[in-house]
Amino acid sequence: MWFDCLKKHRSTVILTPPQGLGRENITTQSSICTGETLIGFLDTKTGRLLQAVVVQNETDIAAFYRAYGYEPPCRN
């Protein structure tokens, strides 16, 4: 019973991207007023950023990619 708690805690949940969108649709947008940066899935039909999250650095961006089961892009 105690081991079941550990097993549940260690499992990672992979989020589901919006239907019809994938890794190639992930993009960032920055506000010219506040400098706030968002990452999410760009719906090319509407131009809207779906499931957007505020990010502050490259670590946050990598975490967004991993949350959906994608490997983050290499930044050199």
Residue 55, domain extent: 2-67
Range in 7-11, 12-16, 19-23, 47-51 the model is least confident about: 7-11
Token pair listed for 21: 């969108």
Give domain status of residue 74, yes or no.
Answer: no
pLDDT, tens only, 46-69: 999 999 999 999 999 999 999 999
Rounded-to-integer distance, Cα 14 and Cα 54, Å: 19
Give domain status of residue 37, yes or no.
Answer: yes
Give domain status of residue 41, yes or no.
Answer: yes
Task: Give the chain's domain count.
Answer: 1
Long-range contacts of 47-53 (CB under 8 A, 24+ apart): 50/18, 50/21, 51/15, 51/17, 51/18
Give domain status of residue 75, yes or no.
Answer: no
Give domain status of residue 16, yes or no.
Answer: yes
**pLDDT-based confidence at residue 10 (cuts at 50, 70, 90):** low
Give domain status of residue 58, yes or no.
Answer: yes
Q: Is the pTM of this model over 0.95?
A: no
Q: Is 58 helix (H, G, I), strand (E, B) or coil?
A: helix
Mean pLDDT, the chain, whole residue set:
87
Strand pairing category for 26-30 and 49-55: unpaired
Give domain status of residue 72, yes or no.
Answer: no
- Sheet containing strand 26-30, edge to edge, reads 26-30, 37-42, 49-55
